[in-house]
Amino acid sequence: SYAPAGDVAEVYWDVDQPVGSQSVFVPSPTWPNPTFQTNVAGQYRFYLDVYDQDNTISCETAEYILTVIPDEAIHVELLWNTPNDINQSDEGPESGSDMDLHFIHPYAGGGPDKDFDGLPDPWFDPIYDCAWFNPYPDWNSIDPNIDDNPGLDRDDTDGAGPENLNLAEPEDVLYRVGVHYFNDHGYGLSIPTIRVYVFTALLLEIVGPDMLPLQMWEAAEIDWTMIE
């Protein structure tokens, strides 16, 4: 971009991003070449205006469209909205609520008894629950050429997410997806959203219940025997 006359004196960036995405320009939208993380799948439309030394804006706003598509067999996103947090895009210790994405294998069952029925629960299983405490588990094949283990590539502890999970080569089993409200950091109830992509296509988008700290939501099941 260029200014109407003379040199570019100021710039201003803006973006329309997918619903639920809270990314911001770093260090600011007035920086000449900021960075921006596209952590949520979907379409991003970027805008740029420039001003010359007389504060005259460019004749047209420059636009660029970027489409982010997950390329794994299974891609799961967790986003959440906390109404009492007036700035859900800020970062730092306890600057937002903390929800966690959980993805469990059918072998899961060694976790703590959170529903108090006297039996271990699948959530928080130390091996077969892929979550913040076990982001890259080793579940099945020992063959290094078979990529059948999931990976949690992002653990957001201070805001609206996303938390993203990817699995390249699923087994012919039933996987389950859950959300745990780990800590509200004083912001109160929050509403999660789960999106499940299968081979780049959005298979499921579901908004969860209003949740309070320490509550667990069993959000979805992915039966790979029915998808292949």
Per the document, the length of the chain is: 228
Alpha-carbon distance of 122 to 111, in angstroms, equals 5
The answer to whether the predicted template modeling score (pTM) of the entire model surpasses 0.85 is: no
pLDDT digits (tens, 9 = 90+) for 169-224: 999 999 999 999 999 999 999 999 999 999 989 999 999 999 999 999 999 999 99
Say which amino acid occupies 51: Y
Contact, 38 vs 20, CB < 8 A?
Answer: no
Residue range 10-33, pLDDT digits in tens: 999 999 998 878 888 999 999 999
- Binned at pLDDT 50, 70 and 90, residue 133 comes out as very high
